[in-house]
Chains A and B, each alone.
Chain A
């Protein structure tokens, strides 16, 4: 793994990040928007672990940031799914273009 340059790991994570961005803007189902957010968070996690491994191996800060991001992602997903289920109960759809009661 030491022979893989850091820039290749960063390119992997940035491809994943912008795939998530693309999905976040184009998807219309709320659950798939949530999946795109998971992709974005995971690419950031790869960055933190790679920087910790390659540039600052005498510290563990990247690992801690990854742990806290994973925890907060779990909290975020549980709340988002509760909101989505509530939306489905009220509007009978989870399409982001149809649930526009709060618009304007």
Chain B
């Protein structure tokens, strides 16, 4: 067992623990902090897989943007001390049965599937290669989805400003 293997198992234990705490903790502000720790753990797993660019993007967008936005909206919509209401037993039972059976089924699929690696010469997932292919017009270039996603982001930002704006009548 090399060090990176041990680090991977420690990290995955941490990710699962913090993910479970995100879902189970009754206090909403703590749930946001546990979500933050889960996302940082996932970024560490990306670094272990030598995908540094994805890890950096995960830190910048999720930790720097999305979690801060979520904490901001928690402060806007509740006092922070207020607890999440107790669950209904029926709904908890349905969700537990659904997620446990789904988890068992997917673990069964994962262990019974035969994975055949297709790659012959691995390509370096560096920022240079990712950027060159992302803005390439040739085959397997991603310039069209890139432009579509930029328009989607613009539309989402304008839409969220319009939705959250106070109307003058109220």
* A positions within 8 Å CB-CB of B: 1, 3-4, 6-12, 14-29, 31-32, 34-36, 38-39, 42, 45-46, 49-50, 52-60, 63-64, 66-68, 70-79, 81-86, 88-89, 94-95
Interface of A is mostly: helix
Residues of chain B with a CB closer than 8 A to A94's CB: 77-78
**Alpha-carbon gap, A77 to B78, bound state (A):** 18
- Let me know if A74 and B119 touch, CB within 8 A: no
Count of residues in B whose CB is under 8 Å from the partner chain? 88
- Let me know if A31 and B77 touch, CB within 8 A: yes
Which 4 pairs across A and B sit closest by C-beta, in order of nearness? A25-B95, A75-B156, A23-B23, A82-B160
Contacts between the two chains (Cβ within 8 Å), count: 234
Choose one: B1, B49, B129; the contact of A60 (CB below 8 Å): B129
Choose one: B12, B84, B100; the contact of A27 (CB below 8 Å): B84
User: How far, in Å, is A18 (CB) from chain B's closest CB?
Assistant: 4
- Let me know if A82 and B159 touch, CB within 8 A: yes
**Alpha-carbon gap, A66 to B54, bound state (A):** 8
Report B71-123 residues with CB < 8 Å from chain A CB. 72-74, 76-78, 84-85, 87, 91-92, 94-96, 98-100, 102-103, 106-107, 110-111, 115-123
- Let me know if A63 and B51 touch, CB within 8 A: yes
**Alpha-carbon gap, A53 to B52, bound state (A):** 12
